[in-house]
Amino acid sequence: MTPGNKLNFSQRNTFPMKSPSILVPLVLVIDDDPGVREVVSYCLGKAGIDVLEAESGASGLALARDRSLSAVIFDLGLPDMDGLTLTQMFRQSQPGAGLIILTGRATLVDRVVGLEVGADDYVCKPFEPRELLARVRSVLRRVAPSQQVPETTLSPSDSYRFAGLILDVGAESLSVEGGNGIPLSSAEFALLKALVENSNQVLSRDQIIRLTHTNDAPAFDRSVDVIITRLRKKIDQGSGRLIQTIRNRGYRLSANVKRN
């Protein structure tokens, strides 16, 4: 079993123990991006759901063999297999499992085709972990009513460490490790959080707006650019630029992010 294809025992040790008498959902996450697998596994595991990980369609199918899965979350753009074909294969091999497509393909045609070939839900990347968790729970309530779907929520006190900085989600604050705080507006915090939670991935302006839009957060393309400029002045260190502009595509936070 490769490192990417594992049951997350470390997470089960981190989160509250479950009674052996309780039927706990088992969800398989298939994505060739280890960062996506880590985020999805973390948010499901913290909510009390058991998680398996695979990095390709073939390894996912092998991992699912002789197991009864509650749900499968998978990308359409896997390196070895088309996600729509994988949908049909899981619908045949795991008829009782909920199938959730998690992909960067956001067109209406892709969503319609995905649902028509057998998926139960379709979530576009980049995604908000709390929304994904809510969708997983909704699917599990339909397909696995006998299993306990935990009603705990992701902790608002989660924090992220990157490039010598700490982003505290609960406190909505940014600080230098072992140093002073860096004041952020609500819009700056929301935009930085979106970049951090999707680190090393390019987010278009439209995606940033979708992930951050509140009454105080950016609502227009140009406002995204203005806030990016303000954030750069506050977090860029030395000659390095943490928030990179990807021409004709959007922005990317280039940093190794660790979640606490």
* Domain assignment present for 44: yes
Considering the domain architecture, whether residues 129 and 17 belong to the same structural domain is answered as yes
Q: Does residue 88 surpass a pLDDT of 50?
A: yes
Full residue range of the structural domain in which residue 41 is found: 9-143
What angle do the packed helices 221-235 and 186-197 form, to 10 degrees? 80
Our count of domains for the chain comes to 2
> What is residue 1's predicted lDDT score, i.e. its pLDDT?
39
pLDDT in tens, 49-80: 999 999 999 999 999 998 999 999 999 989 99
Asked whether residue 45 falls in the same domain as residue 134, the answer is yes
Query: Does residue 118 sit in the same domain as residue 163?
Result: no
Same domain, residue pair 21 and 75:
yes
Q: Is 65 exposed, middle or buried (CB count within 10 Å of its CB: 0-12, 13-18, 19+)?
A: exposed
CA distance 54 to 63: 8
Q: How far apart are CA 260 and CA 123, in angstroms?
A: 25
- Are 130 and 165 in a shared domain? no
Q: Are residues 168 and 130 part of one domain?
A: no
3-state percent helix, strand, coil for the chain, nearest multiple of 5: 35, 20, 40
Q: Which residues of 13-24 are buried (b: 16+ CB within 10 A; e: fewer)?
A: eebeeeeeeeeb
**End residue of a domain, out of 143, 168, 191:** 143
The pLDDT tens digits for 112-150 are 888 888 899 999 888 888 889 888 988 888 887 766 555
Are 118 and 167 part of one and the same domain? Answer: no
CATH code, 109: 3.40.50.2300
CATH of the domain at 183: 1.10.10.10
Q: What pLDDT, on the 0 to 100 scale, is given for residue 100?
A: 95
Whether residues 198 and 135 fall in one domain: no
Same domain, 172 and 86: no
Q: For 28-42, 62-76, 96-110, 142-156, which range has the lowest pLDDT when averaged over its residues?
A: 142-156
Lowest-pLDDT choice from 18-22, 71-75, 107-111, 213-217: 18-22
Give the other-Cβ count within 10 Å of 48's Cβ. Answer: 19
Q: What is the pTM of this model?
A: 0.63
Residues 172 and 138 in one domain: no
Same domain assignment for residues 179 and 89: no
> Within this chain, do residues 50 and 125 fall inside the same structural domain, yes or no?
yes
Looking at per-residue confidence, does 213 or 39 come out higher? 39
Q: Is 112 exposed, middle or buried (0-12, 13-18, 19+ CB in 10 A)?
A: exposed
